[in-house]
Amino acid sequence: MEISENCTQLCSHISALTGANCSLLSLVTKDFLTQPFRSGCAFEGTACTASCTHLFGAYEALRWEGKYMYYCPRGLLFIAALPQVPDELNEYCLVTGPILMTNSADDPFDDPLSDPSSLEGVPHLTTVQVGALCELVAAALSPFPHSRQALGSSGAMLQTMYDYAVAPSAKDYPIESEHQLQEHIREGNKDAAQNLLNELLAQLYASTGNDLSKIKPRIRELLVLMNRAAIDGGADADEVFSLCRRYDCEVDSLSHIEDLNRWLGLILHQFIGFVFDFNAIKHQNIIFKITAYIKEHLAERITLDQVATQVYLSKSYFCRIIKNELGCTFTEYVNRLRIERSKNLLRSTRMSIAEISIAVGFDDQSYFTRIFKKQTGTSPGKYREQRGTAK
């Protein structure tokens, strides 16, 4: 049985057991091979336009041991998991979701643009349950039956490159074109970079006579040049270096020109996606994860270093994302979430203001009152009076 058929069967089993939709995504064609989640957005009532988000989740799973949890633009959770096939490239990804994850019963999902009926059929899971589901899906995919797959559209593209490479008129490998490629990457010119990269690889085949021992070192050099250009263009250095290390290890394991062709087809998609397509998605996903973690630990002492570690970012890059995406500092954002939680407690409970202050992570009641008044324009006591809750 082919890997795609095995994965399709597994999708149906996961859906039946968990109540969460599970779909099969091709990393080659970038299309869902089985019916995706509800065939539309749970909020908009229309076809989902976030396909790039799910491709991002799949590529992140490639970086993080075959599984990755991420959020769509509307804040619903998805799990990406890859079949683990020995000596094979990952060409498929299982996407499980949407899932509505809540940290506690008193912290409901709140989206002013949605109504409760739009979430019917979307399973509600706690953070512990979501973690268990992620491990369950990943375990079901490892190990997975071995089967060599056809590469599809990427294979056709690389076959064209190969035909060019063996043609009698093929030119010597042009070093100057590498500098032009770097310029395209720095400037964010996706189409020009993709086309020039295809030409460079074709000419590389020609100039080396398809000799793997000569091709591999040049591929490594080309990847390093691309990575440096991506960083110059504003890509996250930690992420780019992580990709570079993984690519360097993978190219070592390739022993046939056909395997190299298949590998390059996927690598081109992944690199272009990470550099050009995923920045906004990545930042949005990070913000959702930061928010979820802070809410889960709101009553505790929360440090910038602690949260940055949870989302695998350097401290400086983490601060930059918070400032650029939210327009505030980390401390201001934590206080904003704490005040929002305190407002809910003031409206819905009989807890004293001192108790609420501690429950949302403020050690000093006077400091809590000062921050509350700064954000809302009134004191916690007056806020409760105005909302008509019991004292």
What is the reported pTM? 0.67
Query: CB within 8 A of 31, min separation 6: which ones?
Result: 25
Strand partners, 95: 23, 80
Q: In the 8-state DSSP scheme, what is residue 85?
A: -
Chain mean position to CA 308? 16
Query: CB within 8 A of 383, min separation 6: which ones?
Result: 343, 346, 372, 376
Contact (Cβ atoms closer than 8 angstroms) between residue 159 and residue 205: no
**Which residue, 165, 157, 255, is CA-closest to 207?**
165
Query: CB within 8 A of 68, min separation 6: which ones?
Result: 57, 58, 60, 61, 79, 80, 81
Fold of 297-387: Arc Repressor Mutant, subunit A (1.10.10)
Chain mean position to CA 164? 35
What are the tokens at 202? Answer: 């074709």
| Token pair 């043609």: residue | 167
What whole-number distance in Å separates Cα of residue 269 and Cα of residue 272? 5
Helix (H, G, I), strand (E, B) or coil at 95: strand
pLDDT tens-place values along the chain, 391 residues long: 477 788 888 888 888 888 888 888 888 778 888 776 655 565 555 556 667 888 888 888 887 878 899 988 778 889 999 887 655 667 788 999 888 887 654 454 444 334 445 567 788 888 788 888 888 888 777 665 544 443 334 444 445 444 544 444 445 556 778 888 888 888 877 778 878 877 887 787 777 877 888 888 888 888 888 888 878 877 777 777 777 777 787 788 777 777 777 777 677 777 777 777 777 788 888 899 999 899 889 999 999 999 999 888 888 888 988 998 889 999 999 999 999 999 989 988 889 999 999 999 998 999 999 999 999 999 999 999 887 554 4
Which alpha helices (DSSP H) does 64-152 contain, by range? Answer: 127-140
Residue 58, phi then psi, degrees to nearest 5: -65, -45
Count of other CB atoms within 10 angstroms of residue 343: 19
Domain ranges in the chain? 3-140, 153-275, 297-387
Strand partners, 24: 94
Task: Give domain 3-140's CATH number out of 3.30.70, 1.20.140, 3.30.450, 1.10.287.
Answer: 3.30.450
What whole-number distance in Å separates Cα of residue 214 and Cα of residue 226? 19
Helix (H, G, I), strand (E, B) or coil at 43: coil
